[in-house]
Amino acid sequence: LAKALGPSAVELVAGDLVFTQISPNDREVFLNNIFKILKPGGFFVSRVKLHNPFWRSVSPYDIVHDLYERGESLTKFTLHRFGDKVLNEKNFSFRVNDFLPLFTEAFNVSRDTEEGELILSSMDYFKKIDGNVVRSCFPKTYFNSWISERFDIVKISHAGDYPESDFFPIYALRK
């Protein structure tokens, strides 16, 4: 980014769940590049997925069943809930391969049902993704501390119009 745009080139950078897509090894480089391209006083606005420790103690089947009962997308929300469940707390990361056994466990409970078919379909979807890609998810206190090293947190908002929106806050950060 910094090479393409140059330093202090933009007043606003917006992202949606970009931190989830960044591996632990690339976090500092990413944040430094955002900082470099922003003009002084510029803003970085992004929705962030924060770790929800509640899902650690919930069975894989109950996670999927809850989504199924509410008619939610199994692929979209299991990524976040299973990610919360298997999160490596040393570097706040997970891999898709880490939770394929969770799909298997959930499928074994509901094998001959419509729900089981959806679980199997979601599991097949995740098998097509490069399961070794490392994704990130942060506890709120860690994220706030880390981000505050470079930016002022101007505002933290919550959409409030979907389940667990408290764990998907929108940060407005100023350089």
Residues 142-166 pLDDT 10s? 999 999 999 999 999 998 777 788 9
DSSP E strands: which ranges in the chain?
10-16, 38-47, 93-95, 134-136, 152-157, 170-174
Q: Quick one: pLDDT at residue 151? A: 96
Q: Quick one: pLDDT at residue 31? A: 92
Average pLDDT for the chain: 90
Q: Quick one: pLDDT at residue 38? A: 96
Query: Six-digit token pair at 146?
Result: 């880390």
Helix, coil or strand: residue 158:
coil
Q: Quick one: pLDDT at residue 161? A: 76
- Band (pLDDT 50/70/90 cuts) for residue 134 is confident
The tens digit of pLDDT for each residue in 69-113 reads 888 877 778 888 999 999 999 999 998 888 889 989 999 998 888
Q: What is the pTM of this model?
A: 0.86
DSSP, residue by residue, 15-54? EESGGGGS-GGGHHHHHHHHHHHEEEEEEEEEE-PBP-GG
Q: Quick one: pLDDT at residue 26? A: 92
Q: Tell me the percentage of the chain whose pLDDT exceeds 70.
A: 99
Distance CA 106, CA 110 (A): 7
Q: Quick one: pLDDT at residue 96? A: 83
Distance CA 20, CA 2 (A): 21
Above 80 in pLDDT, residue 2?
no
Q: Quick one: pLDDT at residue 101? A: 92
Give the list of residues 6+ apart from residue 38 with CB closer than 8 angstroms, or none.
Answer: 8, 10, 11, 13, 44, 175
Look at the alpha carbons of 160, 164, 168, 169 in this order and tell me if their dihedral is positive or negative. Answer: positive
Distance CA 22, CA 133 (A): 9
Q: Quick one: pLDDT at residue 155? A: 97
Above 90 in pLDDT, residue 58?
yes
- Band (pLDDT 50/70/90 cuts) for residue 18 is very high
**Both ends of the chain: CA-CA distance in Å?**
16
